Amino acid sequence: MNIAIPSHNKQMQSIIDKVRNGERLTLEDGVFLYQSDDLLTIGQLANEVNLRKNGKKVYFIENMSLYFTNVCEAHCAFCNFRRDEGAPGAYTLSGQEMIEYVEQHFHPGVREFHIVGGHNPHVPFQYYVDSLKALNERFPEVTLKAYTAAEIDFFSRISGLSYKEVLEELMKVGLKSLTGGGAEILSDHYRKKMRVDKADVSQYLEVHRTAHNLGLRTHTTMLYGSIESHEDRVRHMMQIRDLQDETNGFQVFIPLSMQPINPKAGIRRRNSAYEDLKTIAISRLMLDNIQHIKAYFINIGTQLTQVALTMGASDAHGTIVKEKISHAAGALTPEGITREDLLWLIRGAGRIPVERDTFYNEIKVYE
């Protein structure tokens, strides 16, 4: 399916020709797209790529987000979720306490637990192993997508085990996939400025490389909208693209729109809808070797997610039930969404909803 461009701008036309001929976009191409004000052409081109890869199907999953602890040794500048041990609001749940929480909200359609949390140095690595074990024993039919690459690096440090050994221990108790968090912006300069005192760029990538080599299929993210440049964002995508060339282990790329610390912050403290849509579309164009781009409604809202489905996104995430991290940082969106609303959202964009499992196997197609 071609789109009604053509562009009068020579560089834009060159990018259009590259995309249609299956040529990979360069750093310069990506930066140009960010600097262009032609959002409609960028979005149409991303839509063309997505339709070629996924047709009109848009995927979602019935999942629950779980957070065993918010105690964290890191002090990332953008995080309002973390707490110090003993501080007001700090908590660390046992496996049984988490099971009790899940049982209050669980229904038989849930297929995935999305598990992330703080880097709590006051409990041993075995605590994190036992947390997964408890869930897996009580809900063996639910896939455990757990921990970020930064958490795996943290577990390695507190246990003395290698990344491979940490992952193998977690896989023994049911780990099936890693979450994508902890990437932020893959730039050492950015991480220093934003006090990202957890896994560095090479460590983040090495954890995912190790996971892929062990047979795990993982997710990956990019947290944009603070101090990074457009070039930083494109370089981030290219590092993910390079690792995907090597391992083919990433299932989806998730652009995460930065949320302000204060929930009452005005629109000038938030990314614009224009910037959110452009980032999703450029992600689709740059990441030619990743099947799916996710529009994360928690950060950009349900209606903008709907528009994003026509600008390169093929995944509308899932039901979540009760999201905490983005909402601790000021997200104004729903904490979760029903299956019925997800179906409405996807159909409203002229797309076909497809319920999936963690690995993008199709459970039900809603024609």
Annotated binding-site ranges: 72, 76, 79
Rounded CA-CA distance 78/38 in Å is: 30
DSSP per-residue letters across 219-276:
EEEEEESSS--HHHHHHHHHHHHHHHHHH--EEEEEEEE---SSTT--GGGS--HHHH
Contacts of 123 (CB under 8 A, 6+ apart): 69, 92
Rounded CA-CA distance 347/367 in Å is: 9
Nearest CA to 249 out of 208, 284, 285 is that of 208
Residues annotated in a binding site for [4Fe-4S] cluster? 72, 76, 79
DSSP state of 327: H
Nearest CA to 60 out of 297, 308, 311, 316 is that of 316
8 A C-beta contact, residue 61 and residue 318:
yes
Q: What are phi and psi of 266, to 5 degrees?
A: -75, 180
Rounded CA-CA distance 20/117 in Å is: 41
Q: How far apart are the first and last CA of the chain?
A: 21
8 A C-beta contact, residue 339 and residue 110:
no
